[in-house]
Structures are given as structure tokens and as C-alpha cells.
Amino acid sequence: MSRERYSPSEIEPRWQAFWERDQTFRTDEDPAKDKAYILDMFPYPSGAGLHVGHPEGYTATDIVARHLRSKGVAVLHPMGWDAFGLPAEQHALQTGTHPADTTQKNIATFRRQLKSLGFSYDWSREVDTTDPAYVKWTQWIFLELFERGLAYQDEIPVNWCPALGTVLANEEVKDGRSERGGHPVFRVPLRQWMLRITAYADRLLEDLSKVSWPEGTRVMQVEWIGRSEGAEIAFEVEGHPGTRIEVFTTRPDTLFGATFVVLAPEHPVVERITTPARRAEVLAYAARTRGRSERERRESKDKTGEPTGAFAVHPLTGKLIPIWIADYVLWGYGTGAVMAVPGHDGRDFEFAGKFGLPIERVVRSAEVEASAALEAAFESDGIACHSGPYDGLTTAACKAAITAELERSARGRKRVEYKLRDWIFSRQRYWGEPFPIYFPVRCEGDPRTLPESAVSIDFSSPRAVDRSELPLRLPDLEDFKPGEDPAGPLARAKDWRFFQKDGQWFARETNTMPQWAGSCWYYLRFIDPKNEQALVDPAKAKAWLPVDLYVGGAEHAVLHLLYARFWHKVLYDAGIVPTEEPFGKLVHQGMILGEIEYTAYVAEDGTRVSRRDVQEESTPDGRPEFREITTGRTVVPTRVEEAQVTKVGTDFVLAAEPTVAVDARAHKMSKSRGNVINPDSVVQQYGADSLRLYEMFMGPLEATKPWSTASIAGVRRFLDRTWAVCTRTLSPEAPPDGLERLLHRTIKKVGDDLEGLRFNTAISALMQLTNELFGLEAPPRRACETLVLLLHPMAPHIAEELWERMGHPPSIQRVPWPAFDAAMLTDDEVEVPVQVNGKVRGRVKVPTAASEDTVIAAARADENVARHLDGKQLVKVQYVPGRIVTIVVK
């Protein structure tokens, strides 16, 4: 047997080529086998190439896929590209390269990088969301939504971002700025395509109980949907017969405590009811609110508002209460109007306090008098008081009683509200799927040559492109710039936009779909990627759905995962997919941070300031700034080397200046910080198997973990040792008993750990086995073979190579997973610790099957144990078989 060194750069490309030639990972569609659909969230192929975060989740699923295949399961494990999106288009703007070219180039890089890591994808099923053959079906699903009344147009205030030249969805806006790029965002009204996701709100909520997802993710979706039950109550406006203000409340039981009404400044009734004396101030306030960005509205938490001068009639008492406008009432939620109950709502309490409005208690707790003053809003449930006939009712009973009374007198009714809004589905961009929709045009002559003003498009009569004409392709453009008119760049492609049919001119929709569209259903296309007749063959969908394991980042906890569930349910209703939910088990891999960095704070004169004396502030433009608390002077964070710091207590301090504590933290990898690790260079230096193994060995899959280049050398050393052991002259003898038992234990542990996605402990078990074999001059062949079989899912290249060198034909993927014998999991003898009053005072070696009496006798005979028992009174003696002897004395 050869004794050359382990050389990943030589063996890895060879096995990758073998797998490709051999079609080793072609999906097994044998209906007699159990199936497993193992899916990664497909990446956006950015120009930066693969990030070390990608291979984390991808390695995890790859291990599961390889493990299951070796256990005889038919596995579907595909990969593809979420390739529409802004960066390719922005790159096009800067360089003049067509986004399709940039995208294909980036995909090629990603594909090469993923292949270099040895992932066992069935590459024959690769999908690309920008491929017209894929776009066809994305558009087909849109038509399905359109025909079901789930896609509609609306003129609504949207998040217009001039810098990006596009409208953003609420979830793409963070703190009043675009999530990508941080540009300011303004609210302007614009015609948009909307998807009626709210029609599915209840099902999206209820069916969360059917999936096996992380609890935190489920909670986030529940809160995002934000279902609340309450009542809609009508308030008449005094002096305006027929004008009613509807409010939504979850606390109809507090109706008697409503001392004023507040409208959102955008509320249309404001115009009508404001008294002449208040008009100027009210309109000015409303205009100011409209001009303020979301960010500004949020930054000043201080309550502001203006009285309209009008009064509402309390529906139960008939009392007149003032009507105000204030921006803490949101036009987008409920009815855009609230009955303010300052006694029992913190926001109303604050507002009433600021403007001197009356605060009344209408709920009390059991221990409190109805007359007790309110120091703050009492928001808990309790017992009604100062509520006329409802006094004494519990909150729940009072809600029901008051709602019933309002319904009886037609002044209110039960109502369910959701935080979830309909989904703004259009973007004013080039690089996305065109909508398969067109509109009739009124004009004299050819609209392609006429000025805009001479062409009138009837947006109120959208028509669907015939399904036989799909895909509707994007026109080739020279100029992708969005222009300051939010109509989008497609509006300039007049030859594409306008066309004639039956002698009549029509205009195509010039909006495009958001990036989410393609990623909403890609997991379906993987099942049947080449089908030209249907988006997926129903029999195949039935065979593979739902996805059994879905691994991806927690940043998609609401958006992608909610949108995909929504589309899936629509397709379920259409009879296209056989399950109500797309994804069974979901796991989020944790973030990989950069290497730990030590930061000292240095003042201008060079003195170092302890981090305990430093306070972080932010400058007006949002950048962080640091000040010494005592003097107020600014200090600059400065990187220091690990060798210069030492730990004192819980603090890291400068070794040379131990009073100065420094920050020790790992940060997110980012270009600007310069701590990005490139997977290519890790593969080059250590090999793909080492990278895979290291990422799995770092810690639990779901944990956030800092990168450590030094630690990769450790797993590489493990592979070197494994190589060395398995290329020794192997003994044909059966392993000795102790080793045999270790083998069985390791088989069980690795199998269990892989099933539980505990890759770090599986690897440590393999390290222990290798260490054990490393001490043997001629390790037993069967032991080495077992080691390699167990290692294969995690480090496939070295496993294939060693397996072949041991004289077996490839591929190791086709060799069944080793079995263990339960009788071999324990040794004949165990060492049992002996505790006296909770402290270990000795250990005894006893036969595993020994009786309690035997073990206790042996324990008491131990010299050191006996010393601690001497002269004491025995209270209790207990033997937990195989684990521990406990003795309690007095």
C-alpha cells in the first residue's frame, strides 16, 4: 500500500470529476424506497462569489443527503440560482454590461465554487430564476393568482426610493432607509400590483402548527401576521349628521373610559369635520406628517397632535368627547381612527397627559378600589367599574356584553384585524419577471411614435397574456436607468411595450416582479425541472413533497418563508400541489462571524481609555462615535493584537496597562471591516474536506460562531492522521474486544448525531476513533473501513480515496451504512464514581452486570471513601446502575 502524503489538491478534483462522470448523485426515483427531499435555500449569485456562510448550511444538508443515501433512502438534493435582483442591474448601470451577462458570469463562479466543495447535488436539476423556461412558470403562477382575484392593482402610498429608482416593500425598508444601500425612502402614491396575502392570513397562521420549525421562527410569523380580535365601533360626529367615525379596538370593555377620539392625519374625514378656527393648524399638521419620513416619525417618540375642534358622540353615554388628529395613530392599520382610553392604554395615557385630556378608570384589579388614582395606564385584564350597567364584569365578559349591545343597536360589531398587509408585488425595475398583463390604449396613430401625453392607457382593464404565449421575455435595453419618473425603464422600450391585436393598440405592464417571485416556488421546479407542459408533474409532486429538511438563514424567517407558504397554499387550492405546507422541518444555520478582534479606545493625545469609561453614541448621520464618559472627549477604536492583551477577571486588558480594558468581540464579516474569509483560499490551503469539517466542527449548526483560521489546521491534522492510519499495512485480524466495542459505540454515536444534526460531536467521536487507531502499528482493516465509511458524509473526497486504496471499487456512496450491535455498546466492566455527601471521594471498577449490593460493598471498601465514612452515621446509600454510587452520611 502506498505511503504518499494526503494531498487534497490532488485527490479532490479527481473525485469531483469522477462523481460527474459516474452520475453518482443523480436523483434516485425508485418508488419502492423511502424518500427525502433535502433542500438548501438557493443563493443569490452575487459578484463577490461564495461567502464562508454559504458552505455552512450546504455542508450540513450534504452530510444528511449522503448519510441517507447510504441508508437506502431516495434523496432529492438540488441546487439553483435566485438570480434576478438589484445588484446585477446596478452593475449594468455602472459598466454597461447587460444584467443577463453579469448574472451568468456570477452563476458560473458560484457553480465552480460549490463544485469545488464536493456537494452531492443533482446538477441535472439546476434551475435559474432568470431562465425564460423558468420565468414562463413564474408568470403562469402569477396568472393563476390574477384569475383567482388574488392579484389586483391599487393606487397606494408606497416606499419610493429615488436613489434606487424603485418602490420598496415595507420589509425592504429599515429605519426609513432602504435595506440595501441605506438610501432615504419617501411615501408617494403610485399604481401598484398587489397580492391578496391577507385572504390567506388565517390559514397561514393556523397551519404553522403543522410544520416542524424553530419555535422562534413560528412566533415571528405569528407576530408578523398579527391577528387581533376586537370590535369596530361607530362614533357620530356632532353637527355632522350621517358622518360616522369607525374605530377599531381590542378592548371594547373600556368603552366607558373613552375620553377622546384620535384620527390618523391622513384620515379623509379630517377635512370635513375640522372647525374653521382649527383648520389652519390641523391642515399644517397633516401636511407635516405626510412630509416626514417613517424614520423621522419614529425618532421623535414624543406625542404630537392637534384638536380638530369637532366632537364625537359617545355611543353609550351620549357624552361629547373631542376629536384630535395625531401621528401616533396609523392610517395603515385598522380604521385609521381610535377611541382613546387613556386609563387603560399607554399611548393614550401619554397623549392625554401631554394635552391635559381627562383620564378615567374603568377597569380595576381585585385589590384596587374603583376610585383609586391611575399613575400609569392599567392595561391588564380586571373588573369593570364606572361602566354603568357593566360594573363588576370581568374583562372577557364585559368585552362580550358591550360588543353584543353595540351590535344590537347597530353601532358596532365584532372585527378581526391583522398587521399583515397585502403584498406590494411590483417593482419599477428592469431585471425582474415582466408581468404577463396588458392594457387597452386610446390614441391617434402609432403609440410607439407619439409623445406620452397623446397616449392614454386604460389601467382599469388589465388583460392576461394567453398562457400559450408565455414566457413574456424582457426586451433588450441599452439603458437600464430607472429615470426620475417611477414608471420604470420598461416604459422606454416602446417597441416592446406597445403592440397591436385585432387592429387595436395595447400597452404591456412595465412594472416587473420582485425578487421574491422566483424564490417562492423554486423548490417545486426542482422536482420536475425540465417539464414544458406543467410547472411540476402532479405525480412527482406527490412523490417528493413536502420538503423534508430545509436549511437556510434566519433572515428569511418571515419574508421568503411566508410568501412561499402563501403561493404554496394558492397552488394547493388550485390542485397543483398535494400538501398544504411546503416545508416540513426547517433549520436556520447560525451566522459565521469574523475572527475575534481586540479593540482599545485611544484619545487624541494617545492615552488609552478603558472600555468601561467609554460610551457609544451615534452622530446625526447615524455613524457610531465613542466618548470618554468622564471628560466627554472623543476616543477612537483601535485594533490591538491578541498577544498584547491578557485576561483579568472577566475583562480583557492591555498586558502593558492592566487598568485599560479592551473590547474582545467577533464582528460580522464585511468588506469594509476587511475580515471576510474567502472559501477558495481555504480550499486551496487546506482542502475542501477540511473546510467542510471545520465548519461543522465549530459548534452547533444553529449557533453564531466566530471564525478561527488556526482551528482549521486542527481538523486538517485529523485528516492527515486518518490518512496515515488507513494507509498503513492493515491487519486482516478482527479488532480486539475493546476496539470492537469502541467501533460499535462510534457507529451508534455518529448515526444518532447525524440524524440530530449534531455534526460537531459526530466529528469528535471520529477523532477519538482515529486517535485510538493511530496508536496501532497494523490497525485492523475492518476498523479502518468503518472509520472511513462513517467519515464519508462529512469528508467525502478523502473517504472515496481511502476506500479505493483499501481495494474497493468506487463509489463509497453506494456502500451501505455500517450497523451496530446493541450488545456491544457497553464494556464488561465500568468505573463508577462514589459520592459522599455530593463529593466524589473515589472510584470503583465493577462488572457492568454487578448487583447493587456488590457495587455498594465495593464502594464502601474503597480506602478514601471509607475515610470519609469513618465515624459518621449512614443516612442513605444508592447505586444508579453504571453511573454513580451516592452515600449520604451525618
Q: Nearest distance from residue 162's CB to RNA, in Å?
A: 22
For the record, the C-alpha cell of 253 comes out as 370593555
For the record, the C-alpha cell of 323 comes out as 376629536
Question: Which long-range contacts does 360-363 make (Cβ < 8 Å, 24+ apart)?
Answer: 360/256, 360/257, 360/259, 360/386, 361/257, 361/385, 361/386, 362/253, 362/254, 362/256, 362/257, 362/386, 362/387, 363/253, 363/254, 363/257, 363/395
The DSSP letter of residue 213 is: -
Give CA–CA dist 225/572, Å, rounded.
20
- The pattern of x and - marking residues 112 through 131 that bind RNA according to CB under 7 A reads --------------------
E runs forming strands in 382-523? 383-384, 412-417, 423-424, 437-442, 456-457, 463-464, 498-501, 504-508
Q: Binding to RNA (CB under 7 A): which residues in 792-831?
A: 831
Q: Nearest distance from residue 800's CB to RNA, in Å?
A: 23
Give CA–CA dist 407/401, Å, rounded.
10
Q: Are 154 and 167 in contact (CB under 8 A)?
A: no
- Residue 875's contacts (CB-CB under 8 Å, 6 or more residues apart) are 888, 889, 890
Residue whose C-alpha cell is 360616522 = 244
Q: Which is nearer to RNA, 467 or 867 (CB)?
A: 867
For the record, the C-alpha cell of 262 comes out as 384620535
Q: Which is nearer to RNA, 184 or 833 (CB)?
A: 833
The residue from 156, 596, 603, 806 that contacts RNA (CB under 7 A) is: 596
Q: Which is nearer to RNA, 199 or 889 (CB)?
A: 889
Q: Which is nearer to RNA, 475 or 553 (CB)?
A: 553
Give CA–CA dist 304/758, Å, rounded.
53
The residue from 708, 731, 826, 854 that contacts RNA (CB under 7 A) is: 708
Give CA–CA dist 472/487, Å, rounded.
19
Q: Binding to RNA (CB under 7 A): which residues in 220-259?
A: 220, 223, 226, 228, 230, 248-251
- Residue 514's contacts (CB-CB under 8 Å, 6 or more residues apart) are 169, 425, 426, 427, 432
**Contact between 773 and RNA per CB under 7 A:** no
Q: Nearest distance from residue 758's CB to RNA, in Å?
A: 6
The secondary structure element, H or E, covering residue 130 is: none
Give CA–CA dist 346/754, Å, rounded.
50
Beta-bridge mates of residue 437: 464
Q: Binding to RNA (CB under 7 A): which residues in 609-668?
A: 647, 668
Burial of residue 315 (CB within 10 Å: 0-12, 13-18, 19+) is buried
The residue from 628, 720, 740, 862 that contacts RNA (CB under 7 A) is: 720
Torsion angles phi and psi, residue 737, rounded to 5: -50, -50
- Smallest Cα–Cα separation from 442: which of 454, 433, 451? 454
For the record, the C-alpha cell of 179 comes out as 435595506
Near RNA by CB under 7 A, which window of 125-133, 219-227, 516-524, 814-822? 219-227
Q: Nearest distance from residue 708's CB to RNA, in Å?
A: 6
Q: Which is nearer to RNA, 298 or 481 (CB)?
A: 298
The residue from 442, 463, 633, 883 that contacts RNA (CB under 7 A) is: 883
- Tell me the number of residues near RNA by CB under 7 A: 86
**Contact between 706 and RNA per CB under 7 A:** yes
Q: Which is nearer to RNA, 475 or 881 (CB)?
A: 881
Give CA–CA dist 474/436, Å, rounded.
11
The one-letter amino acid code at 167 reads: V
DSSP letter string, 372-391: ---SS---S--EE-SSGGGT
- The pattern of x and - marking residues 148 through 187 that bind RNA according to CB under 7 A reads ----------------------xx--x-------------
Q: Binding to RNA (CB under 7 A): which residues in 22-81?
A: none
Near RNA by CB under 7 A, which window of 83-91, 117-125, 272-280, 696-704? 696-704
* DSSP-based three-state secondary structure for 145: helix
Q: Nearest distance from residue 715's CB to RNA, in Å?
A: 6
- The pattern of x and - marking residues 345 through 384 that bind RNA according to CB under 7 A reads x-x-------------------------------------
Q: Which is nearer to RNA, 28 or 720 (CB)?
A: 720
**Rounded (5°) CA angle 875-876-879:** 160
The residue from 373, 710, 822, 823 that contacts RNA (CB under 7 A) is: 710
Task: Write the Ramachandran bin of 295: left for phi over 0, alpha for psi from -120 to 50, otherwise beta.
Answer: alpha
* HSE-up (13 A, CA, CB side) for residue 395: 14
Q: Nearest distance from residue 841's CB to RNA, in Å?
A: 6
Q: Nearest distance from residue 392's CB to RNA, in Å?
A: 23
- The pattern of x and - marking residues 303 through 322 that bind RNA according to CB under 7 A reads x-------------------
Give CA–CA dist 422/431, Å, rounded.
23
The residue from 711, 729, 848, 851 that contacts RNA (CB under 7 A) is: 711
Instruction: State how beta strands 437-442 and 463-464 pair.
Output: antiparallel
Q: Which is nearer to RNA, 162 or 226 (CB)?
A: 226
Near RNA by CB under 7 A, which window of 388-396, 497-505, 754-762, 847-855? 754-762
The residue from 775, 809, 816, 871 that contacts RNA (CB under 7 A) is: 775
CA 269 from chain centre, in angstroms, equals 40
Residues belonging to the chain: 890
Q: Nearest distance from residue 341's CB to RNA, in Å?
A: 7
Give CA–CA dist 560/556, Å, rounded.
5
Q: Nearest distance from residue 384's CB to RNA, in Å?
A: 16
The residue from 7, 615, 837, 848 that contacts RNA (CB under 7 A) is: 837
- The pattern of x and - marking residues 326 through 345 that bind RNA according to CB under 7 A reads -xxxx-xxxxx-x------x
Q: Nearest distance from residue 627's CB to RNA, in Å?
A: 16
Q: Binding to RNA (CB under 7 A): which residues in 262-281?
A: 264
- The pattern of x and - marking residues 402 through 431 that bind RNA according to CB under 7 A reads ---------------x-x------------
Q: Which is nearer to RNA, 77 or 361 (CB)?
A: 361
Is the four-CA dihedral 451, 455, 460, 463 of positive or negative sign? negative
For the record, the C-alpha cell of 44 comes out as 443569490
**Contact between 741 and RNA per CB under 7 A:** no
**Contact between 489 and RNA per CB under 7 A:** no
* DSSP-based three-state secondary structure for 668: strand
Give CA–CA dist 498/500, Å, rounded.
7
Near RNA by CB under 7 A, which window of 62-70, 309-317, 325-333, 448-456? 325-333
Q: Binding to RNA (CB under 7 A): which residues in 278-297?
A: 297
Q: Binding to RNA (CB under 7 A): which residues in 199-218?
A: 215-216
Q: Which is nearer to RNA, 184 or 714 (CB)?
A: 714
CA 572 from chain centre, in angstroms, equals 24
- Smallest Cα–Cα separation from 570: which of 227, 143, 226? 143
**Contact between 562 and RNA per CB under 7 A:** no
Q: Which is nearer to RNA, 437 or 799 (CB)?
A: 799
Q: Which is nearer to RNA, 768 or 854 (CB)?
A: 768
Q: Nearest distance from residue 223's CB to RNA, in Å?
A: 7
The residue from 300, 409, 615, 684 that contacts RNA (CB under 7 A) is: 300
Q: Which is nearer to RNA, 301 or 408 (CB)?
A: 301
Near RNA by CB under 7 A, which window of 106-114, 130-138, 753-761, 802-810? 753-761
Give CA–CA dist 808/731, Å, rounded.
16
